[in-house]
Structure 1
Amino acid sequence: MIRVALALCLTASVAFGQTITVETLDPDSAPQIVIMQPDPELELFSLQRELGTVQSEVFVPAVKGTGAMLRGLDKLNGEVVDFELDNGFSIMFGGLRVDLGQCRHPEDNSTGEAYAFLTIQEGRESSVDPAFQGWMIASSPALNALDHARYDVWVLRCKTASSAEGN
């Protein structure tokens, strides 16, 4: 009997603790629109700034390397592989075929700012839609990257005739 009374008290206390308010919405009344005047003490400025005129441009000629040093990552097992590829040649990396069109670098700095034209395809055979095709930049690999679930490939640097003789 005490349990039944306690259960009734607990359920009644929840019902008495709630307040339900019912409001009717008038479909004929329009919402109020308040137009505020700008504060004269606040300074307004344009988001577009005048940058001035360009005084000079820096042009650095690029030269073609003999090939490229690439790095591949197998995300499934964490294996990292570095491989050399000559211009116009292909290599298999896991399930991907990596074709190097050419690698270019600044004339005065063969180790920096290398960029390579790569075509990356699933499997050995050429497909209509490659997984990646375009220029990859060594200093900014995320700028134009391979979007693959298992593999990552990026450019490290260009090979030059002098670096090929040194090996």
Structure 2
Amino acid sequence: MIRILSLLALLAAAPAMAEEVSEGRGAMLRGLDKVSGETTDIELQNGASAEYGRLSVELRECRFPVGNPAGDAYAFLTIREQDRDGVLFQGWMMASSPALNALDHARYDVWVLRCITSEGE
């Protein structure tokens, strides 16, 4: 219910927030193991996947505001847990609002830091 209300609020604000976006080559994500307290940065190219703990994280694409590549990145992710059927998370995560559409897992958190915009980044 909360997700539906959050989505409706986001859609209502969309015309005011409309801005031109560009697609990055990939994304920099951060994972947190809640048991050990250890964080890990995960660099993914668009269309690639990586293993993080017992999770498989796949990045479809990452987008960012044109003229502000360090600005509010958002990435479309699919996250699955090894040895389990189904998807734990699938959708857009926003760097500036990770709790708006978050992975719900007892042990792991994964969120978007930024898009990768060039070869050297």
TM-score, normalised with respect to structure 2? 0.83
Query: Is 1:102 the counterpart of 2:61 in the alignment?
Result: yes
Unmatched segments (≥5 aa) in structure 1: 1-55
* Amino acid of the structure 2 residue aligned with 1:158: C
Q: Runs in 1 of length 4+ with deviation above 3 angstroms?
A: 56-59
For residue 159 of structure 1, the aligned residue among 85, 104, 116 is 116
CA distance in 1, matches of 2:62, 2:18: 18
The amino acid that maps onto 1:62 is V
Matched length: 107
Tell me the residue number matched to 1:92.
51
**Structure 2 equivalent of residue 74 of structure 1:** 33
Equivalent position of 2:8 in the other structure? none
Identity of aligned residues (%): 59
1:135 aligns with 2:59: no
Higher strand proportion (structure 1 or 2): 2
**Larger RCO: 1 or 2 (CA < 8 Å, sep 6+):** 2
Unaligned runs of 5+ in 2: 1-14
2:106 is aligned to 149
Computing the radius of gyration over CA atoms, which structure comes out larger, 1 or 2? 1
2-structure distance, mates of 1:86, 1:102:
8
